[in-house]
Every structure is written in C-alpha cells, then in structure tokens.
Amino acid sequence: MAQTALSDVRMQIMWNRLISVVEEQAITLIRTAFSTSVRESGDLSAGVFNKAGLMIAQAVTGTPGHVNAMAEAVGHFIRDIGPENIFEGDVYITNDPWKGTGHLHDITMVTPSFRKGALIGYFACTAHVVDVGGRGFGPDANEVYEEGIFIPIMKFATRGTVNRDLVNILRNNIRESNQVIGDIYSLAACNETGHKRLMDMMAEFAIDDLEALADFVIERSHTATLERIAALPHGVYDNVMRVDGYGAPVEIAVRVTVDESGILTDFSGTSGPSPKGINVPLIYTVAYACYGLKCALAPDIPNNAGSLSPFRITAPDGCILNAKHPAPVAVRHVLGHFVPDAVMGALHKMLPGRIPAEGAGALWNLHLSARALTGKDAPRDGGQRAEVLLFNSGGGGARPTLDGLSATAFPSGVHTMSIEATEHVGPVIFWRKELREGSGGAGLRRGGLGQIVEIAATAGHEFHFNAMFDRVAHPARGREGGKDGAPGSVSLDDGTALSAKGRQHVPAGRRLVLQLPGGGGYGRPEEREAAAAERDVAFGYVNAT
C-alpha cells in the first residue's frame, strides 16, 4: 500500500511537470509567432500525446476548439503518414478542415518524439494564420476550393530536412507569405521545445517511455469524469437555439442523454448545410460540445483523452454541424462557438440554478484588406497593402450568482489584439473601442456588456472587410426571467447600415462602426439588489433614465 501511494505521488509529480512542459511549448509559439492572432490573442493550442495518439496533457494557453479538435487530429496524422513512415526528425503538417481543426486558416503540426532511438509519443500544436489565399477569411465562398490552399496531411520535414517545394508552393499562394511561413516555422519550433523539455524531464525521473504515465493520467481522468456523471440526474434533456445564419436563420437542436455509461449529445434536428462558409466539420462541433459539457460538469478535471472519452457527440451527416467535403467552412467558428451555450441550455433543465444565460457567443472577427488609393488621392509614399485581422468579443451571459463578463471571449477564450499592435500591422486607425452602455440583458444578475469598435483606414487608404458576425437578428436569451442581451449592429459612421456577413467596402474617409451584442440576464430584473442597480448607473453600464 505504501509503495502504491508513493508511486501515485511520483506519477502526480510527473503529471504536473508534463503540464509545465506543454505550457512552455505554447509560450514558445506565442513568443516566436509572426501573426497577431497568435502572439497577441493566443489563438492556438499545444499538447503531448502517447504513441497511440491519445492526448495526455494540453497547455493551459490556447482555445478549446483548437485543443479538443487537435486531440482527434493526431490520430489522423498517424494513420495517414503510416507508422512505417514515421522517423526521428520528421515534422507533419495539415490544414485539412476535416482532419485538423475545422477550417483552412488553422495550421496543425505534429512532431514525433523519440528517445534513445524509439518512438515515445508526439507533440502537436495549432495556430490560426492570417491568410491562406483564396477569397480570404470570410463566409462568401461556395466550396472549400475557393477558400484557400488546402494542405493534406504530409511531411513538412523528413528526418530534419524541410520540404522546400511545399514552402515555395505556400509562399506563392498566400498574400501575407512572410507572416504565414514564419508562423509555420514557429509551430515547428514550438513542438521542438516541447520535445527538449520532455527529454529533460524524462532524464530527471529516469524513465524511457511515457506509457505508464499516460495510462495513469488517462485512467484517473476517465474515472473522475465518470464519477461526476454518475452523480447527475439521469435522463434526456433538450434545447433549441436559433441564430442568424447567412441568408436564413439556423437552428441548433441538441438532445443530451445522461446515463451510467456517460453522456450522449446528439444534434439531430439541427438545420441543414448552408451554401456559404458557416458550415462546421464534425471535428469542430465535437470539440466545442465537449467543452460545454466539461465547463458545466467537470471543469476542474484536467482535459485529456481520459476526461473527454465519456462524452459521445453525434450529428446527422450533412447537417450544418456535420458538414461534408467540399462544403465551405471558412468561418465555422461562428456556429461552432454557439455549440457550448446550446448544450448548456439543455443542461440547465437538468441542473437549474447552475447554468449561465446565453452570451454573445461567436467572436466578431474582422478581417480587413487595406489598399492605397490611386491617382490624385494616392499617398505620397505609395501607401501600404495589408491583410489585418482582429478579434472582438461581446458580452457573456449572466451567471446565477454573478453578473456576466463584459467584452469577453466565451467559449474561445482568445484575447483581443491590442489597438497599438493592430495599427502597426496595417494602415488602420481605431477611433473608438469602448464598452457598449446598456447592452447587457437586465436581471437579478446583469448580462455582460458588448463593446463599440470604430475603425477607419489611414489617409490615402480604403479597405474591404469580411463580415462574419451573428446575434444581430437573434440576441442572446436571458434565463429564469432575465432579459435578452442587446443585438449587434454593423454600419458606417454616417448611419449607413451594413450586412452582418459578407465582403463589403469602407470608402476612404468613412469609419466602420461595430456594436457588439450583450449577454442575456439571469433572474427577474426587479429582484436586483439596490446597491448593484446603483452601481450599474454610476459606472455607466445602464442608462440612468
């Protein structure tokens, strides 16, 4: 018994150390990346896997969509490359939406890890890059072929030698080639850092493989998750969420079945595919459905293959949450980010008093293509041509005991780019970036506020932007008597209304104004404490009238 207890302590110490290894892996990517989406926003993931491709540990830094999709992606890499073709010094790459993380803008790289000549596992990482060619980052394509260059699972490096032909093809098919190629090398360096730190750890603990540690981590996490599920009221719980879609509303229907074997989450009844790029590959739907379940039911249990395995996710073939190749999927995050709130809406019926109201959900990503004017209005220095990407967040849903978080990215968890960093990348200037007064839904607990973002091109420039926004026609719903959050809007500074989706033009001298949606309130507004209501007015969160 004493020996077993001592062994368990040793395993726990190594487990904690392994998490620090993958966290340093992720930090390496942030510090070496070229794109603002990675180095400023943390739109990435990093993790370590055993020889079978099961995730042992993930970095805390990163997004659940990337992490949980990557957890499945490594198995695809192993199968497609073939065990007989995996060598020390190799690095593998893909942006396959169905085998990676859901769209072409995410580059996933996997590196086998060898010790003393034997394969012991894999390191994997993912990052969102600023451009992959095609139509650019937006929803207007009708097929994935239009959305950019598609990299099947293949070798970026073989036995330490980089595939220069692949690099040359990529460089000639993307607009921001220096940024993207730089990010790809950063991804490879990220995995290499993880490997080196793992070798240091294994030498310190005098182990030559990861299998015993992986078994310990996965088994303990699996058992702990099943214990949480066993304590839940078994049954079937349904929810339907309606969101804007592109051209027609989309319904996300979910049924959560809880029994002793785990939790089945089924999306039967969800709308069919869209002709535009808001479709979601199943790998991304699974990632965010699992995240919603873990947030509500087991947030403190580490995320790995063991804690994810009790969650089974299904969706009908061809529905908008299980889109098939060659469906356009460029902005799959828009619907994908609603999946956790849809799932938690069903869980609310099982666990009343524990689940937040709906929030803004999907990021209001903004991709700008800035260009210099020509003729007499051209800037004297010739101007600048740039692809600029920035992330913006609306308000979170109110919680049963706390107000919603304002301008916070749930469920993705990414940071917004700083104004200064974004203005440095391209010829744009921010005139306003502030909380949007009164946008949070009223309630016993107030929904989080959205924000107002006002942006223009610098003198001598204009820009097009790809809108990929939602919650304009269908705002976040309140819960238990709480009011809905404010819907979003898109316009020019002269009041001209613009569409929430699709490529549009902002002429020189005009400003783009985004009013981001707020989160829903929780509980009846008349029950809000007087002191909290007074604070709302004093801080300008609500209108005094």
Per-residue pLDDT of the chain (545 residues; tens, 9 = 90+): 345 665 899 999 999 999 999 999 999 999 999 988 888 888 899 999 999 999 999 998 889 999 999 999 999 999 999 999 999 999 999 999 999 999 999 999 999 999 999 999 999 999 999 999 999 999 999 999 999 999 999 999 999 999 999 999 999 999 999 999 999 999 999 999 999 999 999 999 999 999 999 999 999 999 999 999 999 999 999 999 999 999 999 999 999 999 999 999 999 999 999 999 999 999 999 999 999 999 999 999 999 999 999 999 999 999 999 999 999 999 999 999 999 999 999 999 999 999 999 999 999 999 999 999 999 999 989 899 999 999 999 999 999 999 999 999 999 999 888 899 899 989 999 999 999 999 999 999 999 999 999 999 999 999 999 999 999 999 999 999 999 999 999 999 999 999 999 999 999 999 999 999 999 999 999 999 999 999 999 998 987 65
End-to-end Cα separation, the chain, in angstroms = 68
How confident is the model at residue 6, as a pLDDT? 59
Whether residue 263 lies inside any domain: the answer is no
**Residue where one domain finishes, among candidates 173, 191, 221:** 221
Q: Give 58's contacts (C-beta < 8 A, 6+ positions apart).
A: 22, 45, 46, 47, 67, 71, 303, 304
How confident is the model at residue 1, as a pLDDT? 37
Q: Domain check: are 391 and 538 in the same one?
A: yes
The enclosing domain of 161 has a CATH number of 3.30.450
Does the global pTM surpass 0.85? yes
3-state secondary structure of 113: strand
Q: Which residue has the tokens 């316009």?
A: 491
Whether residue 124 lies inside any domain: the answer is yes
How confident is the model at residue 433, as a pLDDT? 96
Whether residue 272 lies inside any domain: the answer is no
How confident is the model at residue 40, as a pLDDT? 87
Q: Which domain holds residue 164?
A: 2-221
Whether residue 232 lies inside any domain: the answer is no
What is the amino acid identity at position 463?
A: F
How confident is the model at residue 61, as a pLDDT? 84
**Residue where one domain finishes, among candidates 164, 191, 221:** 221
Whether residue 279 lies inside any domain: the answer is no
Do the beta carbons of residue 145 and residue 173 sit within 8 Å? no
CB atoms < 10 A from the CB of 28, how many? 22
Q: How far apart are CA 400 and CA 204, in angstroms?
A: 46
Q: How far apart are CA 266 and CA 256, in angstroms?
A: 6
Residue 50 tokens read as 């055993």
Whether residue 165 lies inside any domain: the answer is yes
Q: How many domains is the chain built from?
A: 2
Residue 100 tokens read as 């990676």
Whether residue 419 lies inside any domain: the answer is yes
| Ordered DSSP codes for 427-475 | SEEEEEEEE-TT-SPPSSBPPPP-EEEEEEEPTTEEEEEEEE---SSSP
Q: In what order do the strands lie in the sheet with 451-457?
A: 428-435, 451-457, 511-515, 489-492
Q: Give 311's contacts (C-beta < 8 A, 6+ positions apart).
A: 262, 263, 265, 289, 290, 293, 294
**Residue where one domain finishes, among candidates 182, 197, 221:** 221
Q: Domain check: are 217 and 362 in the same one?
A: no
Whether residue 53 lies inside any domain: the answer is yes
